[in-house]
Amino acid sequence: MTQKKIAWITDSTVLLTDELKSHPDVYVVPLTISVQNKVYEDGVDLTTDQLYEIINREKEIPKTSQPSVGKFNELYEKLKEEYDAGIAVHVSSKLSGTLSSSTAGAEMAGFHVETVDSLLMSSGISDLIEMGIHMQEAHTDYKIIAQTLREEAKKNENYILLGNLDQFYKGGRMSGTQFLLGNILQIKPIIRIHDGAFELFEKVRSEKKATKRLLDLLDEAYQNYQISEVHVLHGNVLDKAKAYAEQILSKYPKMKVRIGELTSTITVHAGEGTIALTWIKQPK
């Protein structure tokens, strides 16, 4: 059986590693960010630095939108000329309609695409794509790759310390009461993406306690699972992310720690100053 030529498709909520940026078969379809009647393509004509400027300057909160079916259809029409099939790994379908746009675009183009709901965003997507590419290099069938990635997506554990409650509240991700209590009591909410959706995990009284709690949660997971890599993601606070990485490495010297910046579409909701820790739990 000849090896099929596979295209890898994702969206701009992904945290692109150097390996993926330079890979000739990886294609990123941008979400759009609209503010003050202007529409930007995430990562194309709007950088995260420019977005922070807009957020700090404008009262109106930017809005994010999934790529249109037409945008995906256009890409898939081109890809079917060169590839036998595609594997599309997208932001959680509970957080965005991107996956359904991708599916509809592939159907319109008559291009066979296996879709994978990452149940996540950011590095959760890049982890899956990198794993899939390595399986492809070992000549695994693309349908088996996609099915494996759907199972692997369930093994991610993540905790997010919100940098800006205003952003999360204005973006419709928390109630007015939660927002008010959080601001009055200076509560630092730790949220997570669980089963594909945001949920409030715990409320902590100070940033110092919240930092300790995130590291304790990693420690608990480390005791029970095999964890070889941790991602430290940040919203424009690289120094803070480096401090987390140093603490993790001082406790687990053999751990691989990757630091990455949260992409623009995530920053719109989580806000500047956000820190997220994420890892994959493999059985020991």
The per-residue pLDDT for 51 is 84
Quick one: which of 46, 269, 2 has its CA closest to 162? 269
Are 103 and 48 part of one and the same domain? yes
Are 160 and 148 part of one and the same domain? no
The per-residue pLDDT for 270 is 76
Quick one: which of 218, 167, 222, 220 has its CA closest to 189? 167
* DSSP one-letter code for 236: S
Are 185 and 220 part of one and the same domain? yes
User: Is 32 in contact with 65 (CB distance < 8 Å)?
Assistant: yes
User: Which phi and psi (to 5°) does residue 160 adopt?
Assistant: -125, 125
> Which domain-ending residue is among 111, 136, 153?
153
The per-residue pLDDT for 138 is 96
Are 33 and 118 part of one and the same domain? yes
Residue 1 lies in a domain: no
Report the domain count for the chain: 2
The per-residue pLDDT for 198 is 87
User: Which phi and psi (to 5°) does residue 171 adopt?
Assistant: -80, 5
- Residues (pLDDT < 50) of the chain are 1, 179-180, 182, 184
Residue 179 lies in a domain: yes
User: Which phi and psi (to 5°) does residue 81 adopt?
Assistant: -75, -30
How far is 91 from 263, CA to CA, in rounded Å? Answer: 12
Amino acid at 7: A
The per-residue pLDDT for 245 is 98
Are 162 and 210 part of one and the same domain? yes
| Alpha helix positions (H), the chain | 18-21, 48-57, 69-82, 98-109, 123-137, 142-152, 165-170, 176-184, 207-224, 238-251, 264-270
Are 126 and 192 part of one and the same domain? no
Are 116 and 171 part of one and the same domain? no
243: domain CATH number? 3.30.1180.10
> Which domain-ending residue is among 131, 153, 175?
153
How far is 269 from 121, CA to CA, in rounded Å? Answer: 13
User: Is 187 in contact with 203 (CB distance < 8 Å)?
Assistant: yes
Are 193 and 220 part of one and the same domain? yes
Are 147 and 236 part of one and the same domain? no
Q: How far apart are the first and last CA of the chain?
A: 35
- Residue numbers of the domain that contains 272: 156-280
The per-residue pLDDT for 4 is 81
Q: Which two tokens stand for residue 20?
A: 């993926």
Per-residue pLDDT tens digits for 158-176? 999 988 666 555 555 555 5
The per-residue pLDDT for 45 is 87
> Which domain-ending residue is among 153, 174, 192?
153
Are 20 and 138 part of one and the same domain? yes
The per-residue pLDDT for 184 is 47
How far is 283 from 249, CA to CA, in rounded Å? Answer: 22
